[in-house]
Chains A and B, each alone.
Chain A
């Protein structure tokens, strides 16, 4: 049986990778993907906990389901925003999108 800690480390790694992507990808869509990675990491934790903790009512899994749903919604809105933005800016590179600063 795999110890819980392994899952935790794994999800932490996944989270970190996602975070790195969010910090560095220039492409807005890339950033969205990275965010999805982070959500997955969290979900992994949830499920792992709900499996390993004693006396649980599957809250972990429920939570994970909702997280997935919300993530989907967020992704949809995000992509819509990106599309609209692309119409005006003709680019999706976030470091070129800085009309407003200071």
Chain B
């Protein structure tokens, strides 16, 4: 480093100007302690919080679904879709499964879990692991907690596998190859399931240290050519409910050593089918555990429409297999554009926007698990998330300026 030999520019005269300009007045009547810049902390995580990932900014924004306010953010570097953060309340930690390159989009790739304090959102440490986590558009069940101690990360290359990360020991445990299967569907503290191309589901059990112990496989319950089930699925205790492209519901019970398959049932009756109603979207299945309600985004389409947004969310009682409600999509286009225009949600103008602008429909839903649940709904290409009363579908509010693009949502 070399200093130029020129005389320094005349900063002191400028300082004199500044002093003149910014001259502090003598104290007046109203006084208070001098304000001090500080850093906020998170309130206790409410039941109606939701993580909203954004592909362009590569972070997840934590919204309070009741107030509509942003509570905080977690950076989520990724190749395509940021994975949503995972919360473990007992350790008060948040985990983000990330991917970075040493030179932005070039250079050496590194896969790691970033660990954050769940109150301060400060970075604590990272756990680098040697496998390459899957990177896709929809990213359903790509990185999930297995109990409170482990994270399972779905890898696609050079083979489909699940990397086990021990969050307590802060180490990579091992890679479990699951050729022909995909996804991490947590079951309990030491087990997770996957969906397989032969129409079965496997359950993999880990030992105490997180290493592979054993595997069991269900009977085949779907046909991958004729009517496959989506990766998006709903969990209720030790059961996972999968929904097929054509609307068939398959519930698998993992409470026994071998996964058992319940009789399937159809989301749609003949009238629905003649109107071409079928499920579809990106993360389009959700389950409210206590009430046994199943929520599915529905649209009118046919083969190949399974990623189309839907204008409605239908609700079933899984016990009776009866549809109990049909919720209409709020106008997320209006919410998105309205926020850019500075139009408040209770204004007349917003009402007109709602009426004029066609709704883009819903790709993605997530439901809170409390006694008064809310249903979060988003369109993958719009930076606005709708909040519905999950008991009656009433639109409560919108979470606006929620990024630009993203296929997922997660209720912590």
The answer on A and B forming one complex is no
Q: Which residues of A contact B (CB under 8 A)?
A: none
Q: Which residues of B contact A (CB under 8 A)?
A: none
